[in-house]
Structure 1
Amino acid sequence: MDKFIVSARKYRPQTFDTVVGQAHITTTLKNAIRQNQLAHAFLFCGPRGVGKTTCARILAKTINCEHSTADGEACNECPSCISFNQGTSLNIHELDAASNNSVDDIRTLVDQVRFAPQAGRYKVYIIDEVHMLSSSAFNAFLKTLEEPPPYAIFILATTEKHKILPTILSRCQIFDFKRITTGDTVAHLEAICEKEGVKAEQAALQTIAQKSEGCMRDALSIMDKIVSFTNGELNYTNTLEHLNILDEDYYFKLLEDMLQQDLSGAMLLYDDINRKGFEGDLVLNGFAAFIRNLLVSKDEKVVALLDTVESFKQKYLEAAQKTPVSFLISALNILNESEVNYRAARNKRLHVELTLIKLCYLQQAMELTAGDTGLLKKKIAEKAVSVPFKRIQPVLLKQPSGTAPDDVVARHEPEARGSRLIIEEPAPRPAAPPPPKAATAARKIGSLEKLRQQFKETHVELEDHPLTQEALEEAWSAFIVLLKESKNSAAQSFDLAQLKVLDGNSFYVYTANAIEYRFIETSKTQASEFLQKKLSNSQLQFYIIKRENREVAESSEPRPLTAVQQYQKMIEKYPLVKELKEKLKMELDR
């Protein structure tokens, strides 16, 4: 009994012409060999199973062939080609970088490069999965890769080009392998089936090619499994069963039920699918791909993108003609959202059934939201409308003496139940016409002067009088009387305090303990306002000092605060003062 060899190894290409789907690379390599313009380092990158290592071996065999053909192919008859086919060639060295990725492995390879080949023209070093090398190994390989001996050629192969250092990429000729198309895969599988005497249906081979996703090695492995499973007969039904793929006829039936809004039929059909062991996410993903194919079939320009077996193409075209585009796009959105949320769902079956319910009533929902001219856009939220209030007529109040006639007005509602609400607020002025553009700048400049003028009209400036000890004590006593009349507990602390004039606008208040200090500090604002009016000094201020003895020590007296310090204390208590200063662009006196 002969030993079985898998198709991926048995039918591995031996020449450039037999490589499937990489004509752009094989043609370049053959021309380089024929014109004797070989680079010293190549980098083959691309998806798995598309022929990177195969092309590297063919290149190594061809450049050492003693009787290469005119188009740059190996003869497969000379001693060098025979030894290569038998795996005994000493001029080809393969290194798996996935398991030999240390610095010592690369140093061993570099030591071998120093020796010239005993037979043939070149020594070829094929390093597979080169992205697995460590950074130290890459650095140890740099010098040799940049300036190798004239007889050494390096071929690096990788599936992850982005993991390779830029210094390595700059020293290599880069060849990007592409995925093998479905048509090329099917043709290659048909040729192998013919050689092996396997009966294969076209639809089954197309399904295998789609499942392999451009990887020839996977396609050959899948075909070997199905041939063993079916005892040498490859048909569409057995292929679907072995690959766990849901037949597209189920999707066509689901679509028909949804267009007819037959929920019971769709639920029973999904129950049949579920009984066959297909998971819900597989159903959602397959149905989304089915809707995508229908959407592609709507336009003749992109019908070539329809990725399905030949027997279903006409069926797709017929189904696409009777399905609205709006339904297909909405269904894709629903399926995509459902597939994303499938993992988080606790009841998987209920999650899929809810999606089917939405799809079954999708057509009805679209008809309800359709207008005379087609499908309506998303409803726009209504703009905010102000709450209607009853208009209240303004009523002028009696003006107090010294007040401008337009300063105070009153609005009131009609009397209700013997009561009346009066709200004092500034009277509404008639809207002035917009000023011309030329006067806009002048209006901005004069706004500050206008504000100052209004302030002067409504406020009477006080003439400041210098502070004296006698006047201070008299005013202080008057404030104490006021506190006692209002039964304020701070009156006693004010009575026990001692005063000392500092200058014409400030004085010290000495307290005997912390309790007196707190009482005076609490009423400081009220006392300042009273003393300023009583002594006719708007800049009057005082400082509270706590001490244990009654003697006034000149050395312990605090220095008066500067204008900046006063301003800092002021904005700590009244933050709006800072905002007013910035708006009026005022500056502090230094």
Structure 2
Amino acid sequence: MDKFIVSARKYRPQAFDTVVGQQHITTTLKNAIQHNQLAHAFLFCGPRGVGKTTCARILAKTINCENLQPDGEACNECNSCKSFNDGISLNIHELDAASNNSVDDIRSLVEQVRFAPQAGKYKVYIVDEVHMLSSSAFNAFLKTLEEPPSYAIFILATTEKHKILPTILSRCQIFDFKRITNNDTVLHLEEIVQKEGIQAEKAALQVIAQKSEGCMRDSLSILDKIVSFTNGTVTYQNTLEHLNILDHDYYFQLLQYLLQQDLAAAMLLYDEINRKGFEGDLVLNGFAEFLRNLLVCVNEKAAILLDVVEGMQTKYISVAKSTSLSFLVSALNILNETEINYKMARNKRLHVEMAIIKLNFLQQAIELTTDNGSMVKKKRIDGPIAYKTKAINTLQAKQATTDSAAKPTAPKLLIEEQVTKKTATVKPFSAAPPQSQQSVTATVIPISTNTPTYNKATEPGNGSPKKSLLDGLRQKYGSEYLIEEIKEAEALETAKLKRLWEEYALKMDEQLKHSAANTFRMARLQIEADNFFTITVDALTQQKFIEQEKTLLVDFIQVGFNNRSISFKILVETSEQEELPAHLTMNSRQRFDKIAEMYPLVKELRDRLKLELDY
């Protein structure tokens, strides 16, 4: 029995024209060979299984071909081509960087570059998975990659271009390989099954192409497995069974039950799917993809984006026309949220069933109305919305003496003016200052229980000229209140900051904290921004003194500048670092050993009494 060779190796392309789905790269390479414009270093990057290493080998064989064809292809008949096809060519060296990623491996490769080829024009070095090289190996490779001998060509292949150093990228000619489309994959699979004499349905090959996700090697491996599983006959059903894929008929049926709000039928269908061994996340993902395809088919112009097996497009388009757009969008949101939380759910079946219940009543929850021929979501309330208002009670000042007789409660004050520009605080006082011209918001604090009521009849808009809230309050309470505007915050200013700093130092002297006060006077202040300054001291102990007062100090300065955003940072001069006393750096055991060394009787006392000290 002949040894079996997998299709991925048996049908590996041997010429540029046989490479699938990378015509933009193969055409560029052939033209470069024909016009003798080959770069000394190439970087082939792209997803797995799309032909990077294959193109590197074809390029290596073609540039050493002795009878190059007019179309830029190798002849496959000369000694160089035959030795390459047999795998015995001395001009081609392949290095797997995944397992040979050290500096020594690259140095060994660089040593080989010094020797010219014995036959042929070029020595080609193919480094696969080059992103696995260490940083040191990359650095050892830089000089040789930048200025190799005229006969040396490097071809680097990688699936993760972002991991390669920019210094390597700048020395290479970069080719980006793209994923192979499903149509190209299906055409290539049809050629292979025809050569192998395998009976295969086109729908089955389309499912294989979708499952491979643009990787030709994966699609050929899947085809080999299914051929072995089905004994040479590849059908749509056995392909679904082997690849553990849910048929779209299940999704069409589930959607029908949900639109009919037949919850029992939908739950029984999910139970049937679950008993077949399909996990909940697979069902959620598949149904979301199914609804996405329906959403795409709502507009027939976008139906070209539909990636399903042949013959299913018509059914998708017809079902999409009979399904509301709002249902599809809302259902996709529910499925997306359910899939995100699926891993955290302890009862995963119940988690999926809850999503089905939501989808079942989704059609009932979404109410639509027609507005000029377009579908819009119906508003919850068409008329005016009522809302509650609550009266603001005035605050009563504390009475000097208590009166046993009941007194009437203070009247309620309704403030209905619009809040504008600034805020003012109203405090009890005997006289009022000059009236401000700006509208402000005010807080009223009466000093007696006989406070007149602010009547709405005097509001602006009721026959009187428009007044601000503050003007109205002054008109009613001008003789009883002091109305002051909140002062603007001040930016830091050097002279005032030093004055406040000196005042705080004097307060420290009054509290008999003379050491801390002297530290404050020795500190150097530097304003860095409008609300930030630095304090520079000469020793760690001085920093500790200021940090102990930090809370009160920052409040004192903020009040002085009327600016609550002011902050500071304490810096210690690095040139003079204070050495801490030795006893502050010792632990309990070290301190006892030091005392015992100085006073031996202490140790003798511990030994005679057999004391066990708790260090």
With the length of structure 1 as denominator, give the TM-score of the two structures. Answer: 0.69
**Quick one: structure 1 residues 576 and 236, their matched pair in 2 at CA, closer, same or farther if it must change by over 3 Å?**
same
Q: Secondary structure at the match of 1:126?
A: strand
What is the count of residue pairs matched by the alignment?
440
Q: 2:62 is matched with which residue?
A: 62
Separation in 1 of the partners of 2:207 and 2:38? 40
Separation in 2 of the partners of 1:224 and 1:153? 36
**Quick one: structure 1 residues 353 and 405, their matched pair in 2 at CA, closer, same or farther if it must change by over 3 Å?**
closer
Q: 1:446 is matched with which residue?
A: none
Q: 1:503 is matched with which residue?
A: none
Shift of 1:360: 1.0
Shift of 1:71: 1.1
Q: Once superposed, which parts of structure 1, at least 4 consecutive aligned residues long, lie more than 6 Å away?
A: 378-384, 402-406, 426-432, 543-546, 575-578
Separation in 2 of the partners of 1:304 and 1:403? 82
Shift of 1:312: 1.3
Q: Secondary structure at the match of 1:94?
A: strand
Q: Secondary structure at the match of 2:366?
A: helix
Q: Secondary structure at the match of 2:449?
A: strand
Q: 1:342 is matched with which residue?
A: 342
Residue 126 of structure 2 contacts residue 156 of structure 2 at CA under 8 Å; is this kept in 1?
A: yes
Separation in 2 of the partners of 1:355 and 1:145? 57
Q: Secondary structure at the match of 1:269?
A: helix
Q: Secondary structure at the match of 1:20?
A: coil
Q: Secondary structure at the match of 2:101?
A: coil
Separation in 2 of the partners of 1:365 and 1:582? 55
Separation in 2 of the partners of 1:194 and 1:310? 19
Residue 411 of structure 2 contacts residue 452 of structure 2 at CA under 8 Å; is this kept in 1?
A: no
Amino acid at match of 1:211: K
Q: 1:375 is matched with which residue?
A: 377
Q: 2:302 is matched with which residue?
A: 302
Q: 1:387 is matched with which residue?
A: 390
Shift of 1:73: 0.3
Residue 224 in structure 1 maps to residue 227 in structure 2: no
Q: Deviation per CA, 1:504-527, whole angstroms, max 9, x where unpaired?
A: xxxxxxxxxxxxxxxxxxxxxxxx
Equivalences for 1:90-239 in 2 at 5 Å?
Answer: 90-239=90-239
Q: Secondary structure at the match of 1:356?
A: helix
Shift of 1:28: 0.0
**Quick one: structure 1 residues 378 and 14, their matched pair in 2 at CA, closer, same or farther if it must change by over 3 Å?**
farther
Shift of 1:191: 0.2
Shift of 1:370: 5.4
5+ residue gaps, structure 1: 395-401, 412-420, 437-442, 444-449, 456-542, 547-568, 584-590
Q: 2:357 is matched with which residue?
A: 357
Separation in 2 of the partners of 1:383 and 1:580? 47
Shift of 1:577: 11
Q: 1:272 is matched with which residue?
A: 272
Q: 1:524 is matched with which residue?
A: none
Q: 1:263 is matched with which residue?
A: 263
Amino acid at match of 1:101: N
Separation in 1 of the partners of 2:71 and 2:176? 22
Q: Secondary structure at the match of 2:127?
A: strand
**Quick one: structure 1 residues 403 and 141, their matched pair in 2 at CA, closer, same or farther if it must change by over 3 Å?**
closer
**Quick one: structure 1 residues 545 and 355, their matched pair in 2 at CA, closer, same or farther if it must change by over 3 Å?**
closer
Q: Deviation per CA, 1:344-390, whole angstroms, max 9, x where unpaired?
A: 111111111111111111111113x7587742257899797531479
Q: Secondary structure at the match of 1:187?
A: helix
**Quick one: structure 1 residues 166 and 379, their matched pair in 2 at CA, closer, same or farther if it must change by over 3 Å?**
farther
Q: 2:253 is matched with which residue?
A: 253
Amino acid at match of 2:365: A
RMSD over aligned CA atoms reads 3.7
Q: Secondary structure at the match of 1:174?
A: strand
Separation in 1 of the partners of 2:432 and 2:108? 104
Amino acid at match of 1:141: F
Residue 423 in structure 1 maps to residue 426 in structure 2: no
Residue 21 of structure 2 contacts residue 181 of structure 2 at CA under 8 Å; is this kept in 1?
A: yes
**Quick one: structure 1 residues 188 and 387, their matched pair in 2 at CA, closer, same or farther if it must change by over 3 Å?**
same
Q: Secondary structure at the match of 2:353?
A: helix
**Quick one: structure 1 residues 202 and 582, their matched pair in 2 at CA, closer, same or farther if it must change by over 3 Å?**
closer
% identical equivalent positions: 69
Shift of 1:318: 1.0
Separation in 2 of the partners of 1:356 and 1:405? 70
Separation in 1 of the partners of 2:42 and 2:380? 56
Separation in 2 of the partners of 1:339 and 1:39? 48
Separation in 2 of the partners of 1:289 and 1:376? 28
Q: Deviation per CA, 1:73-105, whole angstroms, max 9, x where unpaired?
A: 000000000000000000000000000000000
Residue 284 in structure 1 maps to residue 284 in structure 2: yes
Q: Deviation per CA, 1:218-251, whole angstroms, max 9, x where unpaired?
A: 0000000000000000000110011000011000
More helix by percentage: 1
Equivalences for 1:522-537 in 2 at 5 Å?
Answer: none
Equivalences for 1:376-525 in 2 at 5 Å?
Answer: 376=378, 385-388=388-391, 392=411, 423=449
Amino acid at match of 1:300: E
Q: 1:36 is matched with which residue?
A: 36
The more displaced of 37-46 and 347-356 is 347-356
Separation in 2 of the partners of 1:147 and 1:581? 66
**Quick one: structure 1 residues 371 and 345, their matched pair in 2 at CA, closer, same or farther if it must change by over 3 Å?**
farther
**Quick one: structure 1 residues 144 and 247, their matched pair in 2 at CA, closer, same or farther if it must change by over 3 Å?**
same
Shift of 1:14: 0.1
Residue 459 of structure 2 contacts residue 467 of structure 2 at CA under 8 Å; is this kept in 1?
A: no
Separation in 1 of the partners of 2:23 and 2:365? 52
Residue 316 in structure 1 maps to residue 342 in structure 2: no
Residue 92 of structure 2 contacts residue 123 of structure 2 at CA under 8 Å; is this kept in 1?
A: yes
Amino acid at match of 1:375: K
Residue 300 of structure 2 contacts residue 317 of structure 2 at CA under 8 Å; is this kept in 1?
A: no
**Quick one: structure 1 residues 133 and 387, their matched pair in 2 at CA, closer, same or farther if it must change by over 3 Å?**
same
**Quick one: structure 1 residues 212 and 378, their matched pair in 2 at CA, closer, same or farther if it must change by over 3 Å?**
farther
